[in-house]
Chains A and B, each alone.
Chain A
């Protein structure tokens, strides 16, 4: 391993370390600084890579329970039959070897912010100088009556974390008879992947149109309108799937009964052959272990956007979907949080100041048919006075789908997988 002496610490930089990191005694010594990253999705894997890329003297440990990286982006394409699980499942091997990461296949069950240690289900206690939490979302299956039972019986899944649930939902759709009803629900914003539910409906509709043309889709939306790329999706539903999709805004599910296959809202009971109910969400469980789920509702994590350090848990950085901000909760955005965070950690551990005005961009494609897609893209510039990100001019979404955006949608996936994992 590449844990060299920190002989780059000049006298001047050492003073800067003392200024910027009070109480960080172990970092000032000869030991290589150690960063622990929890979670190896888009955000965590990217952060681990870039810390090592920008400063190989820093030791990085990644704690991740899953064997493989399974991408949420493109998982809707699997549901539509355009791609398979193999297409969205990728190995961590190159990432681990190329960047010499200390890889721990485990789950974090405790964090001691004062002692700067994490405890794992496997019984390890791991010390850190800085901790990065990239857990994504916790899906609140407890907020809908009957959901836990339906979920435990594997009758109703959300498939809002790509993996076995994606494969199961695809099987349910394949088993559904022609003329059946697919009921999907959209949680109240903010949730992971704002255009995701509407893209999913397009992909399922595209599959039905080809294989089960008499089938219907009922979309129960907890929001008052399509929450992302509304013009694009409404155009697609009208253009490609006219008469197939029954869109019902302001219809949050309250109850699920998997024995009668019914979703109940405030207004009525909706029966379906396949139910895909996506509950509301909050910051991943592990952020609560650090006391960092600290917004006014204790739902999301408030961070300093220069470093992505939690405003309550010192030396704990949080990136991706768990963060409270005006960014969309997208995989692409998680990689950019990761890069700003990695850069800041490298600067801080070298006794320098991080970039005070970071700039990041979101690029997000959604397929609306087997050959067409649209995008939304926005550059965000940090505004230190407002302590929030300013969306820059020029950002926005496609009003209609086209073939060039479909080509770039898949190109985006191939590119970002390579960028995150190699």
Chain B
């Protein structure tokens, strides 16, 4: 992802755009992931009946989110959330939470 943006940037745009684009991509997922923590606990570690997200296997996270999105996995509320994110965002969120220890 980073490499793609960087190489795309090198062709046409200047340094400013590269810095902007790479950081914005990180900030986008970092902020989305932080919004999950309101229910799933600070740093993705649950403080309640909600499941912990920190350290979840990426494939498991992505599979479950896609199952919520399609309706294949029944949910009380997650089907509403899962439909709001792109598949790419779900992949990146999976990476983010897998790396959170």
- A residues sitting closer than 8 Å to B (CB atoms) are 12-13, 15-16, 19, 50, 54, 332, 335-336, 339-340, 343-344, 346-347, 350-361, 363, 375, 377-381, 392-396, 404-405, 407-408, 410-412, 414-416, 418-419, 422
Contact = CB atoms under 8 A, between A and B. Distances in A.
B83 A392 contact: yes
Contact of A408 (B28, B30, B49): B49
Interface in B25-47: 27-28, 30-32, 34-35, 37-42, 46-47
Contact of B85 (A352, A379, A395): A379
B30 to A, nearest CB: 7
Nearest to A405: B76
A353 B14 CA distance: 14
A354 B77 CA distance: 30
A407 B31 CA distance: 27
Interface of B: 15-16, 19-21, 23-24, 27-28, 30-32, 34-35, 37-42, 46-50, 69, 76-77, 79-85, 89
B77 A363 contact: yes
Nearest to B36: A361
A407 B49 contact: yes
12 contacts: A339-B31, A340-B31, A358-B31, A361-B81, A394-B82, A395-B84, A405-B76, A405-B77, A412-B50, A415-B41, A418-B42, A419-B37
A412 B28 CA distance: 24
A353 B77 contact: no
Contact of A360 (B35, B48, B69): B35
A404 to B, nearest CB: 5
Interface of B is mostly: helix
In the complex, which of the residues B27, B28, B69, B85 has the most CB atoms of chain A within 10 Å of its own CB atom? B27
A392 B38 contact: no
A278 B40 CA distance: 33
Contacts of A422: 42
Given A377-B81, A379-B80, A395-B84, A353 B23 contact: yes
Contacts of A361: 35, 81, 84
A54 B35 CA distance: 14
B23 A394 contact: no
A54 B23 CA distance: 13
B83 A353 contact: no
A355 B24 contact: yes
A385 to B, nearest CB: 18
Contacts of B20: 16, 352-353
In order of increasing CB-CB distance, the 9 nearest A-B pairs are A379-B84, A394-B83, A353-B20, A392-B84, A411-B48, A411-B49, A414-B48, A352-B23, A418-B47
A353 B80 contact: no
Contact of A415 (B27, B46, B83): B46
B84 A393 contact: yes
B19 A377 contact: no
Contacts of A407: 49
Given A12-B16, A355-B24, A359-B28, 15 more contacts: A12-B15, A12-B19, A15-B16, A340-B31, A344-B27, A347-B23, A347-B24, A353-B21, A358-B31, A359-B31, A393-B83, A410-B48, A412-B48, A415-B46, A419-B42
